[in-house]
Amino acid sequence: MDYKYINTEYLDSVSGGDNEIFIEIVTLFREQVAEFHNEMLSLFTRKDYYNLGLLAHKAKSSVAIMGMNDLAVMLKTFELQSREGNEIEKFESYISRFRNDTEEALKELDDLISNIKKKG
């Protein structure tokens, strides 16, 4: 599988090459991104843009650990615009991209874990 969303070299450095730590990081990421997406939708619906910006900041850290630099850059933009209440018309597309990219990353991570277990 060609990994387009995750950076396997970066993940290897973050986990120190330890497969158990890697799997724990992926499990935590899976839980976090689901929570982040639901909370983003809730904050957007409530027009709580400041807290949406704070959440985008947290989400940025999670995707950066997976080596998802393009998404991290988008989340930084989202964070700044949300905190200032600027370009609100873009927020839905940011949330949609976050969901799409993290779902695709999870597919890649599942494939990577499967390959690790086969070698194990």
Domains, the chain, in order of start with CATH, read 8-113 (1.20.120)
pLDDT tens, residue by residue, 28-60:
999 999 999 999 999 999 999 999 999 999 999
Joined together, the tokens standing for residue 60 give 């940025």
The whole-number pLDDT of residue 118 equals 86
d(C-alpha 49, C-alpha 45), whole Å: 9
Q: Return the exposure string of 24-51: e unless at least 16 CB atoms fall within 10 Å of the residue's CB, then b.
A: ebbeebeebbeebbebbeebbeeeebee
Helix (H/G/I), strand (E/B), else coil: 78: helix
3-state secondary structure of 67: coil
Is the pTM higher than 0.85? yes
Predicted confidence band of residue 116 (pLDDT cuts 50, 70, 90): confident
